[in-house]
């Protein structure tokens, strides 16, 4: 039996790792620094994480930063760059394990009030350049890797008692969205998308509660904001796609990254979309000995309810498909 190191926290993930000995050995051999910190001067990419594990409407809002300042800090949350440059999982683990989640607890509606931690979190999240941070935590923490079934890996979590930040640079378009108390979130997403903001930045802006009508703004847990942005961007594109002519042939595409394999088949018919997710035996999401399959469907008229079986994967894949079809105007 492979011994799972103490850097693995999530119990479900730990059980799955024990059923995947080859992968567990690689995780077990991954090294993190033995550093104990409760106060540090650093910088953030910028990256703000809103947790979803507390009883809503309570959330943890965390600033992700390494224990010391890094010149290449922009790379620590550059997910598109990782993909474009084919970073493997161990390179990503190396980057993410250095990020300390310095967090504070608050209610989601606190974005509408004056609060020093809340204001600094919003300012960091809106910045387009790395932000210097001075952090003091409630107690010393050990720099170790935290893994979870649904969230990206990151280092330890600590309760924030003091935070100072350096200069930020907020783009004019983001400031316009933040200052407009009547602009709806979907309108803000459309506006920023047209100005070149990708889904990762849009997800963070929605998560820190700076978009939407001011009286309705809230913190949105990061994992929820990702799916919401995927859905909103795709909806805008699909509205156009439905008016385009159909393709005149069957088309097949294949791709893979970080253990996810995609097989895309396009039919020369009116718009419909269906996703099949297959979980191989012994994988994190399927500890059984049989292949498990989930599926969800969207008809031409669209859906009125959130999908239940394939969840976030449905909307992430739908976004990629809508970008391709809108690009070829079919």
Highest mean pLDDT among 27-36, 88-97, 127-136, 254-263: 127-136
What is the tens place of the pLDDT at every residue in 256-306? 998 889 999 999 999 999 999 999 887 777 878 899 999 999 999 999 899
What is the tens place of the pLDDT at every residue in 102-114? 999 999 999 999 8
Mean pLDDT for all residues in the chain: 88
pTM for the full predicted model: 0.86
The strand order across the sheet containing 48-50 reads 36-44, 131-142, 157-165, 100-107, 58-65, 48-50
Predicted local distance difference test score (pLDDT) of residue 31: 57
Element (H, E) at 137: strand 131-142
What tokens does 274 get? 């269906």
């Amino acid at each position: 039996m492979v011994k799972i190191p103490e850097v693995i926290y999530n119990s479900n993930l730990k059980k799955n790792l024990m059923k995947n000995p080859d992968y567990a050995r690689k995780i077990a051999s991954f090294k993190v620094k033995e550093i104990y910190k409760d106060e540090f001067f650093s910088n953030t990419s910028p990256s703000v994480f809103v947790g979803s594990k507390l009883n809503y409407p309570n959330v943890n809002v965390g600033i992700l930063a390494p224990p010391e300042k890094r010149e290449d800090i922009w790379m620590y949350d550059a997910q598109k760059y990782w993909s474009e440059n084919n970073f493997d999982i161990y390179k990503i683990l190396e980057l993410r394990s250095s990020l300390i989640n310095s967090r504070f607890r608050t209610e989601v509606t606190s974005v509408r009030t004056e609060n020093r931690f809340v204001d600094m979190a919003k300012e960091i999240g809106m910045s387009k350049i790395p932000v210097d941070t001075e952090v003091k935590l409630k107690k010393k923490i050990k720099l170790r890797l935290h893994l979870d079934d649904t969230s990206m890996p990151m280092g330890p979590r600590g309760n924030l008692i003091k935070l100072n930040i350096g200069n930020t640079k907020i783009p004019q378009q983001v400031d316009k969205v933040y200052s407009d108390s009547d602009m709806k979130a979907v309108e803000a997403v459309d506006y920023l998308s047209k100005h070149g903001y990708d889904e990762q930045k849009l997800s963070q802006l929605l998560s820190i509660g700076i978009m939407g009508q001011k009286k309705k703004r809230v913190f949105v847990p990061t994992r929820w904001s990702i799916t919401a942005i995927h859905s909103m961007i795709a909806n805008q594109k699909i509205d156009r796609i439905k008016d385009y002519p159909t393709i005149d042939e069957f088309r097949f595409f294949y791709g893979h990254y970080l253990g996810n394999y995609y097989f895309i088949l396009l039919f020369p018919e009116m718009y419909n979309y269906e996703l099949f997710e297959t979980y191989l035996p012994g994988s994190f999401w399927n500890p059984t000995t049989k292949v498990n399959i989930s599926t969800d469907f969207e008809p031409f008229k669209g859906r009125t309810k959130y999908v239940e079986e394939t969840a976030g994967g449905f909307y992430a894949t739908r976004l990629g498909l809508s970008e391709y079809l809108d690009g070829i105007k079919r």
